[in-house]
């Protein structure tokens, strides 16, 4: 396959050259590129020299890939990398992969260069589909894919992961018909969520009547406390925790916490007192149907109740959520009769709106639930 150069306004896409190695090495020192891509770690000049001077040329020659450097057309500065990282001629399909140099972000480099490559691939290579994949949690790549026109179709288990790494990814596809319209503009909620979920979970601090508390992601050192809390009869009575509850359940929950954040579907916090003792959990789950809505859940350890910790933590989490995600409404639900949960919600500012009959499946029975809400204007 003959190498080609492509252009889009102030962007120049051209095959890599050996003298691009220093600029590539500089870009690949970026922690985000090292976090989300498969570049070697640490990234050395010899890695850049081999890629720009040998591998890229070989892949063009054998037709297995079409790898471009993305440059400023006026200055020649490296802005990013983009290209078809694998080409399947039999199925007329290819996978696209990209990164943007840290000094070039915010200019739409990935989305613009992706559309340019897609138009060339569909017209000149006669491909019928492009595939995009990214590790779960790589919201910047996902946002660029959406702006290119990719349809995000689901999640898949990754073939090559290391212990402790996220083992799932997003999968999307782009067809020639998807390029017929103007580049899509993702919903503002998607953009806001990408901004926050692309980084590490926040640490929230607030003051409760019983003393200062901190909300942060729980860890394996909290497992024994989590097991004890979820074995409490009140927890079993009013919540959906497994019964009996053991360490395997707690370990699964820690994985679920990480997955929830990476997928951008919510934030699950542990609550800690001034001595960093685990006091309970506080959960925010963003609605999949309404970008401006979410619901909350919480559970406190028996010895940590009646200290005002739950109310203060719930209020702090809701205030952060309204600010971070631009929410309009946060909902609370609890079984009718769960007065402790209702008191916490009302003290935090929630208004109880009514009862939903048989709305909750709980241990083989249908239960009535209270429903309440907190609006941004309530704060």
Mean pLDDT per 10-residue run, the chain (379 residues)?
95 98 98 94 96 96 97 98 97 98 96 97 97 95 95 89 76 93 79 86 96 97 97 96 96 94 95 97 95 96 94 98 94 97 97 97 96 95
Condensed to tens digits (0 to 9), the pLDDT of residues 303-359 reads 999 999 999 999 999 999 999 999 999 999 999 999 999 999 999 999 999 999 999
Beta bridge partners of 88: 93
Q: Is 358 exposed, middle or buried (0-12, 13-18, 19+ CB in 10 A)?
A: exposed
Domains and CATH numbers, the chain: 6-186 (3.40.630.30), 204-378 (3.40.630.30)
| DSSP track, 242-261 | -SS--HHHHHHHHHHHHHHH
DSSP secondary structure letter of residue 291: T
Q: Is 147 exposed, middle or buried (0-12, 13-18, 19+ CB in 10 A)?
A: buried
Condensed to tens digits (0 to 9), the pLDDT of residues 149-169 reads 999 999 999 887 666 667 899
Q: Is 231 exposed, middle or buried (0-12, 13-18, 19+ CB in 10 A)?
A: middle
Give the chain's radius of gyration (CA, Å). 25
| Range list of β-strands (E), the chain | 6-8, 11-15, 66-72, 78-88, 93-100, 129-135, 151-157, 168-174, 204-208, 211-216, 266-272, 278-286, 293-300, 329-335, 351-362, 365-375
Res 37: pLDDT:
93
pTM of the model: 0.88
Going from the C-alpha of 268 to that of each of 10, 130, 206, 350, the distances in angstroms are 43, 35, 17, 19
Beta bridge partners of 207: 212
Buried b (16+ CB within 10 A) or exposed e, 14-41: ebbeeebbebbbbbbebebbbebbebee
């Amino acid at each position: 396959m003959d190498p080609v150069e492509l252009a889009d306004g102030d962007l120049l896409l051209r095959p890599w050259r050996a003298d691009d190695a220093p600029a590539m090495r500089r870009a690949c020192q970026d922690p985000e590129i090292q976090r989300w891509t498969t570049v070697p770690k640490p990234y050395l000049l010899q890695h850049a020299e081999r890629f720009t001077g040998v591998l890229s040329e070989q892949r063009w020659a054998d037709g297995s890939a079409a790898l471009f450097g993305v440059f400023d057309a006026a200055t020649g500065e490296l802005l990013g990398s983009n290209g078809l990282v694998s080409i399947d001629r039999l199925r007329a399909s290819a996978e696209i992969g990209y990164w943007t140099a840290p000094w070039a972000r915010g200019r739409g480099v990935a989305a613009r260069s992706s559309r340019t490559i897609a138009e060339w691939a569909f017209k000149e290579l006669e491909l019928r589909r492009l595939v995009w994949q990214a590790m779960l949690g790589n919201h910047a790549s996902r946002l660029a894919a959406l702006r290119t026109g990719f349809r995000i179709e689901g999640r898949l288990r990754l073939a090559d992961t290391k212990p402790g790494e996220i083992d799932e990814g997003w999968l999307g596809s782009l067809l020639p018909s998807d390029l017929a319209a103007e580049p899509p503009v993702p919903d503002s909620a998607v953009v806001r969520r990408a901004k926050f979920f692309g980084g590490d979970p926040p640490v929230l601090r607030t003051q409760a009547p019983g003393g200062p508390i901190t909300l942060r992601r729980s860890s394996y050192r909290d497992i024994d406390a989590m097991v004890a809390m979820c074995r409490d009869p009140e927890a079993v009575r009013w919540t959906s925790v497994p019964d009996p509850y053991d360490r395997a359940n707690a370990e699964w929950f820690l994985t679920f916490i990480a997955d929830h954040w990476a997928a951008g579907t919510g934030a699950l916090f542990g609550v800690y007192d001034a001595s960093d003792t685990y006091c309970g959990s506080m959960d925010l789950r963003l609605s999949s149907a309404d970008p401006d809505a979410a619901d909350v859940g919480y559970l406190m350890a028996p010895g940590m109740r009646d200290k005002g910790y739950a109310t203060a933590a719930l209020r702090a989490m809701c205030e952060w959520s309204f600010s971070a995600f631009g929410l309009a409404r946060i909902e609370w639900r609890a079984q009718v009769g769960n007065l402790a949960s209702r008191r916490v919600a009302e003290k935090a500012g929630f208004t109880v709106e009514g009862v939903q009959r048989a709305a909750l499946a709980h241990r083989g029975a249908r239960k009535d639930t209270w429903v309440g809400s907190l609006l941004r204007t309530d704060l």
